[in-house]
Structure formats: structure tokens, C-alpha cells
């Protein structure tokens, strides 16, 4: 596992799994609605659900009450230790959670969800103990992206940081940060990562800085048009709401045209789907 973050002598294993809601298996549409976090060494598990019920309602307005009921059950199952709302004392659930200290605790529970609510495969990261909270918040930003206001779009720098967390949780073996592929003037490195021969660059389609975004997109397009290195396989990682931007479709069309002209294999993916 690549080490892309600053680590300390004390590290901890953080396991997590993203919950998807799939109202209709036939339609196949899905939306991320929560994340389960598990720390075996601390014998804790918690569930963070999406705050954007309006988005869920827009996605499936016929079964909102059913959705709310099931989410409450899931939240209860993936919460330990439990605190009584009245006495605020820890309750004794040792029999149900007697294996909460085991590494496979999360996978042993999530595997039974295979209908309208499904958990993605469990991932885990080895991180500094004092950064657990930061990692959990960043995974929430990555997967529960509809919880953020539209006016609070993430920048390219934040997409790159979130991608770094994704790569840390992955099983990639050959990872190089900031590979030595320079722009036409030899001043700036074009790509953020090189993974197993594929070059990765990140872009955040932030609304608030339209002029900056326009300049950023033009620079990226120019760099790809003028690639002199032996680069043929490229993945562009964008924020999950990039397609909502009025500039996205034009950028996508330009990338497609450059790919054909330069005979490049270019794939645009959302940061939350990078490890899929």
C-alpha cells in the first residue's frame, strides 16, 4: 500500500464501506446514502448517513418513509458502543458485538445487504491515530458529496487531496506522485500521479471562481494537445458534481477531440468512483 500521507509512530486501521440506495434493480440507478466506519483496535463502529434527504426524495419520491425506516435500522446496527438517550450510559450489547474487535467485523455484516440497500466492498487504510477524524470527514466529502451546498464546490487542490486518500485506501502497487512529464515550457509538471502506467490529473469544477476555472481548463487542454512525452493512457479525475457545471460538456467534447487527434486513451472519472 503506498504511503502518501505523513505518518507517525502510532498508527491505526480504519475500515469503511459506502452504502448505496437502489430503489429499482431494473433501472439500476443508485445513490450513496451513508458510510460505515469501523476501528477494530478501539472496538468501535459508527454509521454516517446523508443529511440531504431532499436529494433522496428527488431520486425516489415514492418510498421516502420506507427509506427513512431502513436507514434508522442500519444506523442502529452499525453503532457501537451505544449510548442510552435518557441515561447516557453505555448499554450492554456484548453478545451482538462480541466480534467488533475483529478485522472482518464490517464485511461480515455488510455482505447481507443485497437488495435496495447495498454496501460497497469494505476498504481500509493504515493512518496516524490522530488523523482518524480528518480521514472520516474527507471520506464523507468524497462519497456524500450531495451534502455540500452547490455554492461550496471543491477546488482542484481538494480533488487532488481527496484522490490521495482514495489511492492510500487502494491496492495499487506502482504509484508515483508528480511524475516527470513537463509542460511545453518545461516549467510545470502536468500530471498528479502515475499509477501502473496510467497518468492521472485532477480538476475541480468550482463555480465561485469562473475566471480561474476557465484559465485552468484552457491550460489543461493546451497541455494535452502539446504532449511530447510517450504518454497514451490518461485518467482525468473530477469532483462528483462536475457534470452540473456549465463548462463541463464543452470540456468533455474538447477532451474527446484531443483524444482522437493525439490517439490518446483518456477517461474522465468522478473522484468517488476512482477505485471502482
In a domain, 209, yes or no: yes
How far apart CA 42 and CA 77 sit, in angstroms, is 17
Mean pLDDT per 10-residue segment, the chain (276 residues): 48 94 82 96 96 89 92 95 59 75 96 93 90 92 83 79 85 89 92 95 78 89 90 93 88 96 94 85
Cell numbers standing for residue 22: 437502489
Do residues 170 and 141 share a domain? no
Q: What is the model's pLDDT at position 172?
A: 83
Q: What is the model's pLDDT at position 5?
A: 45
In a domain, 1, yes or no: no
Do residues 92 and 163 share a domain? no
Q: 113: Cβ–Cβ under 8 A, 6 or more apart, which residues? A: 19, 119
Measured CA distances, 44 to 89, 100, 102, 200 (Å): 16, 7, 11, 35
Do residues 133 and 60 share a domain? yes
Q: 35: Cβ–Cβ under 8 A, 6 or more apart, which residues? A: 16, 17, 18, 19, 47, 48, 139, 140, 143, 144
Do residues 162 and 143 share a domain? no
Q: What is the model's pLDDT at position 59?
A: 85
Measured CA distances, 221 to 57, 142, 217, 248, 255 (Å): 38, 25, 6, 13, 7
> Do 109 and 117 form a contact (C-beta atoms < 8 A)?
no
CATH of the domain at 259: 3.40.50
> Do 164 and 5 form a contact (C-beta atoms < 8 A)?
yes
Q: Structural domain of residue 68, as residue ranges?
A: 11-147
Do residues 235 and 165 share a domain? yes
Do residues 73 and 163 share a domain? no
Dihedral pair phi/psi, residue 236, rounded to 5°: -100, 120
Do residues 182 and 239 share a domain? yes
Helices and strands: H and E segment counts in the chain = 7, 10
CA atoms within 13 A on the CB side of 53: 8
Do residues 41 and 137 share a domain? yes
Last residue within a domain, chosen from 126, 147, 168: 147
In a domain, 5, yes or no: no
Q: What's the number of domains the chain is made of?
A: 2
Q: Residue 41: helix, strand or coil by DSSP?
A: helix
How far apart CA 134 and CA 275 sit, in angstroms, is 20
How far apart CA 251 and CA 123 sit, in angstroms, is 32
Do residues 124 and 25 share a domain? yes
Q: What is the model's pLDDT at position 88?
A: 47
Question: How does strand 265-270 pair with strand 233-238?
Answer: parallel
> Do 39 and 13 form a contact (C-beta atoms < 8 A)?
yes
Do residues 142 and 178 share a domain? no
Q: What is the model's pLDDT at position 92?
A: 57
In a domain, 2, yes or no: no
Q: What is the model's pLDDT at position 9?
A: 46
Measured CA distances, 166 to 118, 119, 170, 250 (Å): 20, 17, 6, 27
In a domain, 4, yes or no: no
In a domain, 3, yes or no: no
Do residues 42 and 129 share a domain? yes
> Do 54 and 68 form a contact (C-beta atoms < 8 A)?
no
In a domain, 164, yes or no: yes
> Do 34 and 19 form a contact (C-beta atoms < 8 A)?
yes
Do residues 91 and 55 share a domain? yes
Q: What is the model's pLDDT at position 94?
A: 59
In a domain, 201, yes or no: yes
Amino acid at each position: 500500500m503506498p504511503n502518501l500521507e505523513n505518518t507517525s509512530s502510532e498508527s491505526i486501521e480504519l475500515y469503511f464501506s459506502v452504502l448505496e440506495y437502489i430503489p429499482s434493480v431494473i433501472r439500476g440507478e443508485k445513490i450513496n446514502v451513508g458510510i460505515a466506519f469501523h476501528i477494530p483496535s478501539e472496538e468501535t463502529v459508527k454509521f454516517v448517513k446523508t443529511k440531504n434527504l431532499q436529494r433522496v426524495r428527488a431520486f425516489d419520491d415514492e418510498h421516502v418513509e420506507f427509506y427513512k425506516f431502513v436507514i434508522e435500522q442500519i444506523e442502529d446496527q452499525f453503532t457501537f458502543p451505544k449510548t442510552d438517550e435518557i441515561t447516557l450510559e453505555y448499554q450492554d450489547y456484548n453478545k451482538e458485538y462480541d466480534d467488533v474487535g475483529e478485522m472482518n467485523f464490517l464485511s461480515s455484516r455488510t455482505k447481507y445487504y443485497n437488495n435496495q440497500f447495498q454496501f460497497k466492498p469494505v476498504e481500509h487504510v493504515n493512518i496516524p491515530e490522530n488523523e482518524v477524524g480528518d480521514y472520516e470527514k474527507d471520506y464523507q466529502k468524497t462519497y456524500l458529496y450531495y451534502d455540500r451546498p452547490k455554492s461550496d464546490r471543491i477546488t482542484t487542490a481538494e480533488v487532488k487531496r481527496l484522490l490521495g486518500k482514495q489511492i492510500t485506501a487502494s491496492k495499487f502497487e506502482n504509484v508515483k506522485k508528480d511524475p516527470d512529464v513537463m509542460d511545453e515550457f518545461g516549467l510545470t509538471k502536468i500530471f498528479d500521479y502515475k499509477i501502473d502506467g496510467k497518468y492521472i490529473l485532477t480538476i475541480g469544477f468550482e463555480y465561485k471562481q469562473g475566471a480561474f476555472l476557465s484559465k485552468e481548463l484552457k491550460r489543461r487542454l493546451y497541455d494535452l494537445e502539446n504532449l511530447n512525452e510517450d504518454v497514451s493512457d490518461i485518467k482525468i479525475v473530477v469532483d462528483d458534481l462536475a457534470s452540473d457545471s456549465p463548462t463541463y460538456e464543452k470540456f468533455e467534447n474538447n477532451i474527446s477531440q484531443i483524444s482522437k487527434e493525439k490517439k490518446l486513451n483518456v477517461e474522465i472519472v468522478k473522484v468517488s468512483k476512482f477505485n471502482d
